[in-house]
Structures are given as structure tokens and as C-alpha cells.
């Protein structure tokens, strides 16, 4: 019922749903990113060598498209963050799904390197907008406050569920070829992604709810103005300008960037890496499954770890775990050692995925969360453009990927002491930016 310009809100006690709607957003994020992992983020590795074989391009040249994707994502993720703050995540995810699906279908028609670069970038823009890099993270961060760490960890489990199905992409490519596979996977993204995009919603206050599904103790129903005021109270914190002037922002950007260089390289080259060691295509794809399934441990645990321990210790542990994974990768001559690499690297890599937005929300507050998250993700991913080309170039020159893995380990190890530049203490949220005890 409308009275003037005010809308009466139905009492929470009478209309409170059995399941808080924020958990549907979490589930939709998992479903969307499960498919994106199968079809693009992980599954596209399967097409790397077939495309290389058909066109005879060098590995460095082919990897250049993946590096440009990192640069493009690094540039656009801050834009996605701003647009999410202004338009809400639903529109951004929906546009991303359409661009991603159409881009993948068009990729099946390529006959030249420039077409490969152009259409791969188009697909990457769409998939990036639809993924949990920024858009789903913004939605989850707004719908949860007290349970934000748990919700973030769950929302980012998509790759964990998608990784086991990469072997099906291998089977699909062997059955119908890489071109037809891209058509089928791109069409599937449109069919699966469009309905999931409509699940995303901006803020619980817009729908008469509060973050975490909390209920007000007053027997009287809160008014629309009360709910809006509550929403604004929880959206305090730093502006983008204030964040850019802070030391914390730049320390995090360097740490996340150092971690992302090697990760981006392996996301492109892991299957070729193990095939170069003599693994079969199926066994090489299985190592990707190992990494992403085991990354679920880190994705689920990092929120609790950040609540319980000094965030500097948690970050240092994740970075050193990644270094240990690289060292094991250097001697991965059989599937058992590959599994150990996957455990160490997967847990560390997985923990960083929800760890980044959790820290952004805690350290900078919710006022400009989307924009600040986008800027930090952008800085991380832009630095990652080095990884794929470096791995490809070193293989072209030396016939081995080993030197690139040593370089990745050295970069992360050198960056790890920077965690000491962050303030010590356990983060405890008090509505705005974190207060460190």
C-alpha cells in the first residue's frame, strides 16, 4: 500500500521467509561459477593444444591472448565494481552471460590469430562480468554482514564443483572437436546463465529485509525509511579516494599481484605442463580437478581463520603454501606427487579467492566495496598477464616449463614479508572499516 511517497513494509514476523534470500544468491553464485569453470576458466585449457596444433602458432603467441585477457580484466574489473555499485549486480551478470556465451560461439569460427585474440577477449569480458570476481561478491557482501565470511567462502565454491567435469570437456573435444565444443558450451552458458542472473539482487533493505536475515526486536514492523537507514548504516567506510591514499590498499595490491602471476600462468598452462612431463591428456586434466577440488578446503576455511587469527599470519600462510606447491611441482613426476602439489597449491589458491573480498569488506567497509574490490582484483589480474606469456616463452626457448615455476616461487617468496607492513591484530567488524585490536 502506497501512502504519499512512502511504502508500508509488511511486518518481518509475518513475512519472514523460511530460507533467507541471501542463501539463494549464494547458491546461484555457486551454480553460475560451476558452469563458467567447466566451460571457460578451466575447460578452455583443453582447447589450448588442439588450437595450437591446427594453426601452428607458438605457445608464447597463443598465450598472449590469455595475457591480454588478464590486462582487459584488470582494466575492466574496477569498472565492473563501479557499475555494480550504481546498477546492481543483476544487470552486470546478465550482460556478462550474453557477451560470454556469444563470444564463445563466435570463437568456434576463428581462422586467424587476430580473430582469436579479439573473440577471446569478448568472451573473457562477458565471463569476467558474470563470474564471482566482482559481481557475485558484491551481491553476497550486501546480503550478509555477520555471516559474510561463511557466505563468501560458500559462494566461491563453483570451481570446486566444476573441476571434476573438466575431464568431460576433454571427452567432448575428442568426440566433436574444439570448434563444435565451443558452440555447445557457449550455448549452454546462455541457457544456464540467464535464469541464474535473475536470482541476483542488490540489497536486502530494498526487499524489506536486513543482512543475514536478522529480525528486529520491536514488535512493530519497521518502516521503509527505517530499513533504508539501517542499510546506510552498514554501508559506511572508506571512499575510493581514501582507499587509494591508504598504505593498506597498495600493500594488498602488491601481495595479491605477486600471488596472481603464477596462478594465471598455471590456469592457462597446467594441462600443457603435465603433458610436457609425459602425462596423458586425461591425467593432465585430472590434476586440474585435484587443484580446484582441494581448493575448496581453503575457500571454506579462510573466513574462520581470518576471524580467529591475525590476518597477517593467514595471508603469510597462504602465500608460503603457494611457494611450497611450486617446489613440489618441480618434481611432480607421477600422479601422487601431482596430488601433493594440488593439495598445497590448491588450498593456498582457494583461500585467496574469498580472502580478498573478505579483507576488502573488513578493512575498507561497505561504502565503496564494489569499486575498491574491483580495483584490487584489477591490479591482481593485470599483474597476472605476465604469467601465461612467460610460461609459453620459456617453453618455446628451453623446451621446459621448469624455469618459469622457479621464477613464480621466487616472486611470491620475495613478496611475503610485505605482510608485516599491514597492521597487526584480528579483524573485528564494527559496521564500517575494520578495527584492529
Q: Looking at residue 77, what is its pLDDT?
A: 61
Q: Looking at residue 69, what is its pLDDT?
A: 64
Alpha carbon distance 250, 281 (integer Å): 40
Helix intervals (H) in 198-246: 224-233, 240-244
CA neighbor of 152 nearest in space, from 337, 403, 390, 429: 429
Alpha carbon distance 240, 369 (integer Å): 9
Alpha carbon distance 400, 278 (integer Å): 12
Alpha carbon distance 292, 298 (integer Å): 10
CA neighbor of 379 nearest in space, from 18, 71, 31: 71
The pLDDT confidence band at residue 371, using thresholds 50, 70 and 90, is confident
9-40 pLDDT, tens digit each? 444 444 556 789 999 999 999 999 999 999 99
Distances (CA, A) of 177 to 11, 47, 167, 168, 321: 57, 9, 14, 13, 37
| Cβ-based burial of 254 (10 A; exposed 0-12, middle 13-18, buried ≥19) | middle
CA neighbor of 172 nearest in space, from 65, 281, 279: 281
Q: What average pLDDT does range 404-408 have in this prediction?
A: 95
Do the beta carbons of residue 350 and residue 294 sit within 8 Å?
yes
What sign results for the dihedral spanned by CA atoms 80, 86, 89, 93?
negative
Residue 404 pLDDT greater than 90, yes or no: yes
Q: Counting every residue, how long is the chain?
A: 437
CB neighbourhood size of 233 (10 A): 11
CB neighbourhood size of 316 (10 A): 17
Alpha carbon distance 284, 275 (integer Å): 6
Alpha carbon distance 356, 362 (integer Å): 10
Out of 31-45, 55-69, 119-133, least confident range: 55-69
325-362 pLDDT, tens digit each? 999 999 998 999 999 999 999 999 889 888 888 777 77
Residue 132 pLDDT greater than 90, yes or no: no
157-216 pLDDT, tens digit each? 888 898 888 889 989 999 999 999 999 999 999 999 999 999 998 888 877 788 887 775
Cα 208 off chain centre by: 29
CB neighbourhood size of 54 (10 A): 14
Alpha carbon distance 241, 238 (integer Å): 8
Mean pLDDT over each residue of the chain, to the nearest integer: 82
Strands 435-436 and 427-428: antiparallel
pTM over 0.85: no
Do the beta carbons of residue 354 and residue 223 sit within 8 Å?
no
Alpha carbon distance 85, 112 (integer Å): 38
Domains of the chain, earliest start first: 19-207+233-423 (1.20.1250.20)
What per-residue string of b and e applies to 400-433 under the rule 16 or more CB within 10 Å gives b? ebbebbebbbebbbebbebbeebeeebbebeebb
- In the three-class reduction of DSSP (H, G, I as helix; E, B as strand; rest coil), residue 10 is classed as coil
User: Which one has a higher pLDDT value, 188 or 79?
Assistant: 188
Amino acid at each position: 500500500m502506497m501512502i504519499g511517497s512512502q511504502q508500508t513494509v509488511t511486518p518481518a514476523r509475518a513475512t519472514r521467509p523460511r530460507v533467507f534470500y541471501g542463501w539463494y544468491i549464494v547458491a546461484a553464485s555457486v551454480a553460475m561459477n560451476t558452469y563458467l569453470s567447466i566451460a571457460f576458466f578451466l575447460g578452455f585449457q583443453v582447447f589450448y593444444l588442439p588450437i595450437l596444433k591446427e594453426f601452428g602458432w607458438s605457445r608464447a603467441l597463443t598465450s598472449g591472448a590469455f595475457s591480454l585477457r588478464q590486462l582487459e580484466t584488470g582494466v575492466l574489473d574496477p569498472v565492473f565494481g563501479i557499475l555494480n555499485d550504481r546498477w546492481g549486480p543483476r544487470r552486470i551478470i546478465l550482460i556478462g552471460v550474453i557477451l560470454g556465451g556469444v563470444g564463445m560461439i563466435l570463437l568456434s569460427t576463428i581462422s586467424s590469430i587476430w580473430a582469436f585474440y579479439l573473440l577471446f577477449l569478448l568472451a573473457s569480458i562477458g565471463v569476467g562480468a558474470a563470474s564471482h570476481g566482482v559481481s557475485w561478491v558484491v551481491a553476497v557482501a550486501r546480503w550478509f554482514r555477520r555471516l559474510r565470511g561463511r557466505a563468501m567462502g560458500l559462494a566461491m565454491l563453483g570451481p570446486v564443483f566444476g573441476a571434476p567435469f573438466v575431464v568431460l570437456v576433454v571427452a567432448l573435444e575428442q568426440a566433436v572437436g574444439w570448434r563444435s565444443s565451443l558452440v555447445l558450451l557457449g550455448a549452454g552458458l546462455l541457457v544456464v546463465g540467464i535464469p541464474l542472473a535473475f536470482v541476483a539482487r542488490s540489497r536486502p533493505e530494498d526487499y524489506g529485509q536486513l543482512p543475514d536475515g536478522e529480525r528486529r526486536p520491536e514488535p512493530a514492523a519497521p518502516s521503509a525509511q527505517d530499513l533504508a537507514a539501517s542499510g546506510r548504516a552498514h554501508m559506511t567506510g572508506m571512499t575510493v579516494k581514501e582507499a587509494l591514499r591508504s598504505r593498506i590498499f597498495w600493500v594488498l595490491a602488491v601481495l595479491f599481484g605477486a600471488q596472481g602471476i603464477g596462478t594465471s600462468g598455471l590456469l592457462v598452462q597446467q594441462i600443457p605442463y603435465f603433458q610436457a612431463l609425459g602425462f596423458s591428456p586425461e591425467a593432465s586434466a585430472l590434476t586440474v580437478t585435484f587443484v580446484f577440488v582441494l581448493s575448496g578446503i581453503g575457500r571454506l576455511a579462510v573466513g574462520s581463520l581470518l576471524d580467529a587469527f591475525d590476518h597477517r599470519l593467514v595471508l603469510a600462510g597462504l602465500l608460503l603454501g603457494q611457494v611450497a606447491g611450486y617446489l613440489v611441482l618441480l618434481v611432480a613426476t607421477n600422479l601422487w606427487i601431482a596430488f601433493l602439489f594440488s593439495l598445497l597449491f590448491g588450498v593456498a589458491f582457494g583461500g585467496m579467492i574469498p580472502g580478498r573480498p573478505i579483507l576488502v569488506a573488513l578493512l575498507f567497509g561497505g561504502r565503496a566495496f564494489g569499486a575498491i574490490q574491483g580495483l584490487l582484483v584489477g591490479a591482481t589480474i593485470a599483474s597476472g598477464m605476465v604469467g601465461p606469456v612467460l610460461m609459453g616463452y620459456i617453453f618455446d626457448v628451453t623446451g621446459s616449463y621448469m624455469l618459469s615455476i622457479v621464477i613464480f616461487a621466487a616472486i611470491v617468496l620475495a613478496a611475503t614479508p610485505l605482510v608485516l607492513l599491514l597492521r597487526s591484530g584480528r579483524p573485528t567488524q564494527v559496521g564500517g572499516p575494520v578495527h584492529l585490536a
